[in-house]
Amino acid sequence: MKVADMSKEIVILNGPNLNLLGKREPHIYGSDTLADVERNCAAIAAQSGYTIKLQQSNSEGAIVDMIHAARETACAIVINPAAYTHTSVAILDALSTFEGPVIEVHISNTHKREEFRHHSYVSKRAEGVIMGCGIQGYEFGVMRVIALTSN
Ligand code: DQA
């Protein structure tokens, strides 16, 4: 049995510009920060004995590396790939090497926005997609992967 099969670690990955969450276009993304996301998700995870590892990068290759690392440690991935959602075959391919559940999260409802945001490569791999629920979407993602991995 692999380490990840027994793991209770949920990796939450965030793509470019999400380091500025809370400061960046608050009319679209709100005023809460990634630290708030981490705190809220950790509280939910702890109730079921899970832990959270929240990471962010502005680089596509670094996100691919984080997914590879999650293969060894995590039971599930919750990912907001940000702009790479709409462009990155590399992130899709990396997620396809991960054996546990993947939930895609978007803070905004990308279908209400520009046409180029309507397509997601990552949705081809994700078990579920949550969008338009603000940062609460991450919490829903954590709840979903706990439901999928606990038995
Ligand atoms: C986003 C939506 C993307 O289109 C955008 O590029 C982002 C954030 C969201 O969370 O709503 O950076 O993924």
Reported as a single tens digit per residue, the pLDDT across 50-82 is 999 999 999 999 999 999 999 999 999 999 999
- At 6 the pLDDT is 79
In order of 1, 18, 45, 98, 151, the CA distances from 5 in angstroms are: 6, 29, 17, 11, 12
CA-nearest residue, atom 9 of ligand 1: 106
Give 4's pLDDT tier (boundaries 50, 70, 90). Answer: low
d(C-alpha 100, C-alpha 98), whole Å: 6
Pocket test for ligand 1, best of 18, 25, 37, 106 (most atoms within 8 A of CB): 106
pLDDT digits (tens, 9 = 90+) for 24-59: 999 999 999 999 999 999 999 999 999 999 999 999
Ligand 1 proximity of 133 Cβ (cutoff 6 Å): no
DSSP classification of residue 81: -
Residues annotated as catalytic (active site), given as ranges: 29, 106
Tens-digit pLDDT profile for residues 95-137: 999 999 999 999 999 999 999 999 999 999 999 999 999 999 9
Amino acid residing at 90: A
* Gap from CA of 66 to ligand 1 centroid (Å): 19
